[in-house]
Amino acid sequence: MNISLIGASGFVGTRLMDLLRSKGHELLNIDKQQSPFFPDLTTIANVLDKQKMLELLKDTELVILLAAEHRDDVSPASLYYDVNVTGMQHVLEAMEHNGIKRLVFFSSVAIYGLNKRNPDESFAADPFNHYGKSKWQAEQKLQNWYKEHPDWNINIVRPTVIFGERNRGNVYNLLQQISQGRFLMVGKGLNVKSMAYVGNVVAFVDYLIDTNKEAYQVYNYIDKPDFDMNKLLALVGKVLGKRMSKVHYPYFLGMLGGLGFDLLSWLTGRKFSISSVRVRKFCATTQYDASRMLASGFKAPYTLEEGLSRTLEFEFVHPRTDDITFKSE
C-alpha cells in the first residue's frame, strides 16, 4: 500500500516505519523534523499547514496520524489544541480532498484521567491535563466525522506509556535512576503501572492495517499482565544484576520534594526531571483494560518482561554505536 505517516520522525514512528517498510509498503513520512533513520522517506511539513497536507496526501491509500504535542511542559498550552485538534481537522479535510478513507490515529489512555479502575474503551473520558483533553477533543472530532462519512475505516489506538530502545521518556528515566542507584521508592510500591513495549505497539498497528479494514474501532493498547512498582524494581535488579533497596518513602515527602522543584523551576526558568505532576503520576495507579485488543486475535511478539529486558540490555548493558535517542514522556 501507499501509506502516509504524519509525525513519524520520533520514537514510535521510526519503529513503525521500519516494520512497514520491511512488509513492502510504499511510505511517506510528513513531519516538521527530519527523521534520523529515514531521511529519504521524509518530507518536512507542519500538520498546521493545511495546504501542505492537501498536496502531500495525494495518491495515499492510508494515513497514520502520530503528530502530537504531548510533553508535560508545552508552552503555551494552546499548542496542545492547535496541533492535536486543529491538526486533526486539517488531516481529515486533506484526506477527503484526496479520496482517502482509511485512518489509524494514535490517541492515548490519558483521556481516562488518573487513578481510574482499569478502564476499558467504553469508560467515560475524564482527562486531567491539556494533553489528555486535546486528545479527547480530537477523538470527538473523529466521531463526528465518521457519522458523516460512514464508509470510512478509522482505527484509534489508545496506548499506555510506551517504552523501548532509544526512548528518553519517563520509563527510561525511571530505569536509569534504578540502574544508577538514585531511585527512591515513594509509597508502598503496590501501584500498578500499565506499560507497552514499542515493538508490540507497532506490530499491533501493522495487524490493524492488515485485518481491520472497515468501520470505526477503538483499542486500548497495554502489554499484559501488568507490573506493580515492586515487581518492576525486582525485574530491573535481575537483568542488571543489582541488589535493589527496599526502603519506601511516604507519599507526602515525595510531593513536598516535587513542589520544591516546581518552585525552583519557577524561580530559575529551568525545567527539571522532577516535579509535583511527575510525582503524582508516578504514585498513581495507571492500569487499563486491554480485553478488546486481546480478543482481536493479535499476538504480541514480545512479553512485557522481554520488552523491558531488551530495553535494559540495549541501554545499560551492551555498548551502543551511536547516540540517536528520542525524547518523550
Q: What is the pTM of this model?
A: 0.90
* Residues carrying an active site annotation: 131
The yes-or-no verdict on residue 177 having pLDDT over 80 is yes
Residue 310 C-alpha cell reads as 531488551
CB 48 within 8 A of CB 87: yes
Burial of residue 46 (number of CB atoms within 10 Å: 0-12, 13-18, 19+): middle
Place 170 in a pLDDT band, splitting at 50, 70 and 90.
Answer: confident
What's residue 80's pLDDT? Answer: 86
What's residue 285's pLDDT? Answer: 78
What are the residue ranges of helices labelled H in 57-169?
78-81, 87-97, 130-148
Residue 50 C-alpha cell reads as 493545511
Domains of the chain, residue spans: 2-163+194-229
Place 247 in a pLDDT band, splitting at 50, 70 and 90.
Answer: confident
Place 40 in a pLDDT band, splitting at 50, 70 and 90.
Answer: very high
Place 267 in a pLDDT band, splitting at 50, 70 and 90.
Answer: very high
pLDDT digits (tens, 9 = 90+) for 81-140: 999 999 999 999 999 999 999 999 999 999 999 878 899 999 999 998 999 999 999 999
Q: CB neighbours (10 Å) of residue 253?
A: 12
pLDDT digits (tens, 9 = 90+) for 308-323: 999 999 999 987 778 8
Looking at residues 71-90, what average pLDDT do you find?
A: 87
Instruction: Classify domain 2-163+194-229 by CATH architecture.
Output: 3-Layer(aba) Sandwich (3.40)
The yes-or-no verdict on residue 33 having pLDDT over 90 is yes
Burial of residue 208 (number of CB atoms within 10 Å: 0-12, 13-18, 19+): buried
- How far from 258 is each of 14, 39, 178, 217, 251, CA to CA, in Å? 33, 39, 18, 39, 11
CB 86 within 8 A of CB 46: no
Place 329 in a pLDDT band, splitting at 50, 70 and 90.
Answer: low
**H helix or E strand, kind and range, residue 102:** strand 102-106
Looking at residues 163-175, what average pLDDT do you find?
A: 92
70 vs 108: which has the higher pLDDT: 108
112 vs 286: which has the higher pLDDT: 112
Strand partners, 6: 30, 65
What's residue 305's pLDDT? Answer: 97
Identity of the amino acid at 3: I
Burial of residue 237 (number of CB atoms within 10 Å: 0-12, 13-18, 19+): middle
